[in-house]
Chain A
Amino acid sequence: MSEAIIKMAKLETGITGFDLVAKGGLPKGRTTLVTGTAGSGKTVFASQFLAEGIRKAGEAGVFVTFEETPKDIRKNVASLGWDIEGWEAEDQWTFVDASPQTQAETVVVGAYDLGALLARLEHAVHRTNAKRVAMDSLGAIFSRFDDDAKIRMELLRISAALKEMGVTSVMTAERNREYGNITRYGIEEFVADNVIILRNVLDNEKRRRTVEILKFRGTDHQKGEYPFTILPEDGFIVVPLSAIQLKQKSSNVRVTSGNEVLDKMCGGGFFRDSVILVSGATGTGKTLLVTQFIAGGAQNGERSLLFAFEESREQLFRNAQGWGVDFQKWEKEGKLKVVCEYPEVRGLEDQLLKMKEIIQEFKPNRVAVDSLSALERVATIRGFREFVISLTSFIKHGEVMGLFTNTTPTLVGGTSVTEAHISTLTDSIILLRYVEMYGEMQRGLTVLKMRGSQHDKDIRSFSIDGNGMHIGKPFRNVAGILAGQPTQVTPDEISRLSGMFQEPRSM
């Protein structure tokens, strides 16, 4: 097995993230079938395969188009910022136009083959010394000729000729359903040892694009579906989530959370590269914690980045002012950047890429997301989980400290989907809870988890005033706060319970 893997060389496609999923790229000198439903991104994949070859590897490419005219393709990819016409002038990109001709009716009389197409393709490859070939999309040619078996045979012949020429090629083909037959005309059985499936699934009213490598004969690849997106400037981008390795270093350096008492509860502050989740119902003080987190950083000369998905800029700045924190000043000094947006503005995959881009640009020491659960609205459960994994690992990779907030759906106690998905991914969890006592709402805070460190296990009450958060004494005589049903316990009961665990003196 390992021998076969070494023998089969891969060609780096240059498509962002894809080579990671494909463990190096497409099998070199072979044909790979890319299949998907209408609008799944096949043409973009095929044309980007050529474009990246030209841009990154200096390899010429030939594009055989069966469906759209070269004119349409040039126009369509112009939005991706590629100058196909310029490449054509330099013989880097060559079209073989096999699109339907409207002016000439065609009648079939007697035996024929696709020798003309093959001869044109071979000519184009040899003339420009092309290394990559894209054929898009095979379904269109089946609808033009009536003999499916014949066309399959001809495609097999073309595929064999491509192998002979030593070019790496991508063929695209339509499929009818997202989960079902691989292609409409059974092309995969004939043409390709390698099959990639692009999906564009509607799930809970949300579109989710994924790429899956179904098979690479004789060589290794990542399994399963990986989300991807198509962006105006960058084109096809695969978001390789599970492919990300857990190799970040971990730091023992502690930094302040922005609140002295909370630092003490955490055993001396947060770790410099940890990710902290703050969970609580609306109004429990999550945004305040975020504000203090940023303030703590700014006072130590650190740079902070805040992604706010729930409140406007004005609201945030005003709130901060109310707690004696001046965001405006820090933003002027370049210590702070606030990005406010509605989560609905873009899909989650695009959101992730945008956030990564901003993080890379601003290079903060601290990143806060308020709130993560707002993003849950625009994604499927799986998509959201992948988003959190990817963002978390990206933040950790850059040795940046992250603080995410999560809004719980119920006022007292309770967990949320977000929590269930991301609690294992974060290093520390801080819970903020309402506690009803004697007909009065109080707030409670506890450090639930602190990876790699001792921490205070108490649930402490805290109050909020013009100077921010004041963490007070632990709740005594109360049980069931986290369960959302606080009940008073008499002192007798407490001493009786603790007595149960005392070793008898006489023994």
Chain B
Amino acid sequence: MAKYHFKLYIVGQTLRSQNAIANIQYICRHQLDGDYNLAIIDILEQPQIAEENKILATPTLVKEQPPPMRRVIGDLSESKKVLIGLGLKPKQVQASTHHNSHQTETDGEENGGIEHE
């Protein structure tokens, strides 16, 4: 079983939805060692799940495992803020030594969005 469980709520396949999906996948791969499980829920198709979880804004990312449960709203365009919002530590040290190129890429992403995927 994966260490991290996420649910991402979107409404339709809009550009914003696609950005959010790409961003969380990027974060998971580079910051969480790819040890994750991501369920994407389109509210247009499964409104009942959104109702049960009382989702208001989209996109909404919910971290279900490990506890505590956390929510981040938006297209997740800033990795560092997303990780902080999820209560996770950004891989600062590792990134600067072993994944230097990624760190710069992440910086670029913060300014310009999600061109990296």
A positions within 8 Å CB-CB of B: 96-99, 101, 103-120, 123-124, 141, 144-145
Contacts and interface: CB of A to CB of B under 8 A. Distances in A.
Contacts of A144: 56
Given A110-B74, A110-B76, A116 B43 contact: yes
B39 interface: no
B44 A111 contact: no
Nearest to A96: B51
Contacts of B69: 103-104
* 4 tightest A-B CB contacts, nearest first: A107-B85, A110-B74, A115-B11, A123-B47
Binding site secondary structure of chain B: mixed
Contact of B43 (A108, A110, A120): A120
Contacts of B43: 115-116, 119-120
A116 B77 contact: no
Given A104-B69, A111-B16, A119 B50 contact: yes
Interface string B11-35: 1100010011001000000000000
Contacts of A120: 43, 47, 50-51, 55
Interface of B: 9, 11-12, 16, 19-20, 23, 43-44, 47-48, 50-51, 54-60, 62, 69-78, 81-82, 84-85
B81 A116 contact: no
A103 B53 CA distance: 11
A111 B75 contact: yes
Given A98-B56, A107-B70, A119-B58, 7 more contacts: A104-B70, A106-B73, A107-B85, A108-B74, A114-B58, A115-B58, A116-B55
Given A107-B72, A107-B81, A112 B54 contact: no
25 contacts: A99-B54, A103-B69, A104-B62, A105-B70, A105-B71, A107-B71, A107-B73, A107-B84, A107-B85, A108-B72, A108-B73, A110-B19, A110-B23, A110-B78, A111-B77, A112-B58, A112-B60, A112-B73, A113-B16, A116-B43, A119-B44, A120-B43, A120-B50, A123-B48, A145-B57
Contacts, number: 100
B75 A112 contact: yes
Greatest chain B CB density within 10 A among A97, A113, A116 is at A116
A109 B11 contact: no
A10 B52 CA distance: 35
Given A98-B54, A104-B71, A116 B60 contact: yes
Given A104-B70, A106-B71, A107-B71, A112 B50 contact: no
Given A98-B56, A113-B57, A106 B72 contact: yes
Nearest to A119: B43
B57 A117 contact: yes
A120 B43 CA distance: 8
A159 B77 CA distance: 29
A166 to B, nearest CB: 19
Nearest to A141: B56
A141 B74 CA distance: 16
A202 B56 CA distance: 37
A116 B9 contact: yes
Contact of A117 (B19, B56, B76, B82): B56
Contacts of A119: 11, 43-44, 47, 50, 58
Contacts of B47: 119-120, 123
A116 B59 CA distance: 8
A222 to B, nearest CB: 37
Given A105-B71, A107-B84, A109-B82, A116 B76 contact: no
Contacts of A145: 57
Contacts of A105: 70-71
A183 to B, nearest CB: 20
Nearest to A103: B69
